[in-house]
Amino acid sequence: MKLLHHALVDYELPLLKAIAARRAMRLETLDQREAVEQLTEVLLSPVATAITVDDLSPAERNALDFLIRHEGQVEGARFSREFGEIRSMGPGRLDRERPWESPVSPAEGLWYRGLLFKTFQVGQQGSREWVYIPKDLLSLLQPDRSHQPATAVGLDQFIADEPDIILPSDSYLPENVFRLLVHLQTTSVRVQNQGQLLPKDKVLLQELLLPPLNSNDMPADQLSFLLHLSQRANLLTVTHSRLRPNRDPVKVWLQSSRAQQIYQLQHIWRTDHTWNDLWHVPTLVPQATGWENSPMLARAKILDFLTQSGVTAGSWLSVEAFIAAVKQSIPDFQRPGGDYESWYIQDRQGNFLMGFEHWEQVEGALIRYLLTTILPTLGVVDLGLNAGSQQIERVRLTVFGQSFLAGQPAQLPPPSRSQHFRVQEFQIRVPARANLYDRFQLARFAQLEDFEQEQARYRVTQASVQRALRNGVTPDQITAFLARVTNNQAPLRLVEAIRNWGARYGSVQLEQATLLHLKSPQLATEIRQHPELAPLLGENLTPTTILVPSRNLAQVRRTLIKLGYLEESISSDP
């Protein structure tokens, strides 16, 4: 912010005279520089300033207090929405209309009293207009403390009671990413052009995941976000057109603590400029017409607002009240220049949502999407709703969420119970807080049966073991793993079954073949010794019968026809 003298230097003499007239003083000069000096002296007089402030209307006083509470500067677009316009007038119009005598808005009233000035600042988003109070003048002003200002925001404005139904999110993120990693480790999933998966693979992956916490969310959108997040975290990579776990980063992630696993993915989202939350809000259809928005800016503003509100883990917040508080305090959180006209966004019915009057449908919808879809997916908040309602009405900051806002992983106490796997017959029970790396190894040879808040249950079957054998896992590796994670409590029957399945696997082979019948053993010997046919023939079943492998049948038929052993008219017979 400039000093008052520097702010007045930019004014032409007619405007300086208008301010002087509004302050009931007479400029004794026609020189602009001298007029600036005289006006600066009066405007910085504590007594004259106090008299002027006392003379403000309630609306003008409210506008002045708003500026003071924002440390003397606010974006011009926001101030105009709150307190009206300041009309642009040249010297002739000033002289004719004398606007200082009847200002059309509180903002214009402050302007002609010399309490409000304009400037432009250039930032990453371009040039933006700001209104401000010069810093030496600001030091003379104090907010009116006789009443609570209407724009003050406190935690009590959106704190809420506990809902009837609570949907906890603490296990949601690591469990879903874990399931993606397991499936992509054991199953080949092809990536098409532009990184898209085949529809059948998308459906299968959606069925593997836990259902969305918010029942209004689409499983396809949930899958898209989780896959994007995992790839940005370097947990997934595309190799030879296949989507696969990235071995070393996945191993590190699986062996980390639950708090570190969650925080790593939370931090990836916070700093990811490639996932544009606004473009994924289900009620909006942004149009790519050249305008840009910063998803990281919007996230940072909402997370900062949540942090500064003082909310702590376990506190329930009203979603709608939180949105209202953001609108009241930082309405332009994603639009630094307060531009509500150039962003081409439609609703699902095709109506354009341009102008500040559509704030609830755009900004409000984005905040609702962050609070009820993205943040619960990331384990930052739990969800709450009342009985009989399908609409998420409240959210509760989690322990993981509070630590995320503070910029560090949560500090959790060590588990109070043993984390060894328990085996009963062919079923294996895994504690909820067991090491995910061990679960990952288990999932290579066992099938997930059920997942609950406290445990996951797997079943070992011949098919699941054979799947592991096909992927290069040996029976000895499986039994050694079970001995370790069960503290040598794996049942002998299970161990023997795994060894038997391993011993039998691949020991028998079925193969299709065709029988070549010959009239005499001499003819069989003749054909067997022919240099073109010999490499294509299988075993002799009898002196006059030879097996022909299916893969060689067509070539054997052509050679027999060429040599005259087989009639061409029957060459198409099997």
Q: What is d(CA 79, CA 337) in angstroms, rounded to the nearest whole number?
A: 12
Q: Is 385 in contact with 163 (CB distance < 8 Å)? A: yes
Tens digit of each residue's pLDDT (9 = 90 or more) over 357-381? 999 999 999 999 999 999 999 999 9
pLDDT of residue 460: 95
Q: What is d(CA 429, CA 446) in angstroms, rounded to the nearest whole number?
A: 11
Q: Which amino acid is at 138?
A: L
pLDDT of residue 120: 86
Percent of the chain residues past pLDDT 70, beyond the cut: 95
Q: What is d(CA 349, CA 351) in angstroms, rounded to the nearest whole number?
A: 6
Tens digit of each residue's pLDDT (9 = 90 or more) over 41-86? 999 999 888 889 988 999 999 999 999 988 899 888 889 988 999 9
123 pLDDT exceeds 70?
Answer: no
Indicate the length of the chain as a whole number: 574
469 pLDDT exceeds 50?
Answer: yes
Q: Out of 77-81, 153-157, 436-440, pick the least confident.
A: 153-157
pLDDT of residue 495: 92
**DSSP helix/strand/coil, 316:** strand
pLDDT of residue 569: 64
**DSSP helix/strand/coil, 293:** coil
418 pLDDT exceeds 80?
Answer: no
206 pLDDT exceeds 80?
Answer: yes
128 pLDDT exceeds 90?
Answer: no
Q: Out of 413-422, 432-441, 453-462, pick the least confident.
A: 413-422
269 pLDDT exceeds 80?
Answer: yes
Mean pLDDT of 511-517: 86
Q: What is the mean pLDDT of the chain?
A: 89
Confidence of residue 124 (pLDDT cuts 50, 70, 90): low
Q: Is 572 in contact with 554 (CB distance < 8 Å)? A: no
Q: What is d(CA 354, CA 352) in angstroms, rounded to the nearest whole number?
A: 6
pLDDT of residue 125: 56
* Whole-structure pTM value: 0.75
Q: Is 258 in contact with 433 (CB distance < 8 Å)? A: yes
Closest CA to 15 of 123, 92, 129: 92
**Lookup result for tokens 């029970």:** 429
pLDDT of residue 186: 87
Tens digit of each residue's pLDDT (9 = 90 or more) over 207-232? 999 999 998 899 999 999 999 999 99
Mean pLDDT of 327-334: 90
Q: Out of 9-23, 143-157, 383-397, pick the least confident.
A: 143-157
pLDDT of residue 564: 87
526 pLDDT exceeds 50?
Answer: yes
**Neighbour-count burial of 129, counting CB atoms closer than 10 A to its CB (0-12 exposed, 13-18 middle, 19+ buried):** middle
Higher pLDDT residue, 251 or 511? 251
Mean pLDDT of 564-568: 85
Q: What is d(CA 279, CA 387) in angstroms, rounded to the nearest whole number?
A: 31
What is the dihedral sign for C-alpha 116, 119, 123, 126? Answer: positive
pLDDT of residue 222: 95
> In what helix (H) or strand (E) does residue 120 lie, and over which residues does it extend?
strand 117-123
Q: Out of 334-348, 410-424, 449-463, pick the least confident.
A: 410-424
pLDDT of residue 149: 44
Mean pLDDT of 136-142: 89
Can you name the residues that pair with 451 across neighbouring β-strands?
456
Tens digit of each residue's pLDDT (9 = 90 or more) over 386-414? 988 889 999 999 999 999 999 999 888 77
Mean pLDDT of 29-39: 91
Q: What is d(CA 146, CA 13) in angstroms, rounded to the nearest whole number?
A: 38
Report the relative pairing of strands 126-132 and 345-347 from DSSP bridges: unpaired
Report the relative pairing of strands 447-451 and 427-431 from DSSP bridges: unpaired
pLDDT of residue 143: 73
Closest CA to 143 of 95, 72, 240, 227: 72
pLDDT of residue 504: 86
3-class DSSP string for 490-512 = CCHHHHHHHHHHHHHCCCCCCCC
Report the relative pairing of strands 381-385 and 73-75 from DSSP bridges: unpaired
Mean pLDDT of 349-362: 94
Mean pLDDT of 327-350: 89
Mean pLDDT of 491-499: 93
250 pLDDT exceeds 90?
Answer: yes
Q: Which amino acid is at 256?
A: S
574 pLDDT exceeds 50?
Answer: no
470 pLDDT exceeds 70?
Answer: yes
309 pLDDT exceeds 90?
Answer: no
Q: Is 277 in contact with 362 (CB distance < 8 Å)? A: no
Q: What is d(CA 344, CA 463) in angstroms, rounded to the nearest whole number?
A: 54
Q: Is 378 in contact with 173 (CB distance < 8 Å)? A: yes
145 pLDDT exceeds 60?
Answer: no
pLDDT of residue 573: 46
Closest CA to 464 of 493, 498, 440, 434: 498
Q: Which residues 6+ apart lie within 8 Å of 110 measured at CB?
A: 56, 60, 63, 64, 116
Helices (DSSP H) in 127-194: which residue ranges?
135-138, 172-186
Instruction: Tell me how many degrees the CA angle 249-254-259 measures, rounded to the nearest 5.
Output: 110
148 pLDDT exceeds 50?
Answer: no
The encoded tokens of residue 114 equal: 């010399």
pLDDT of residue 147: 44
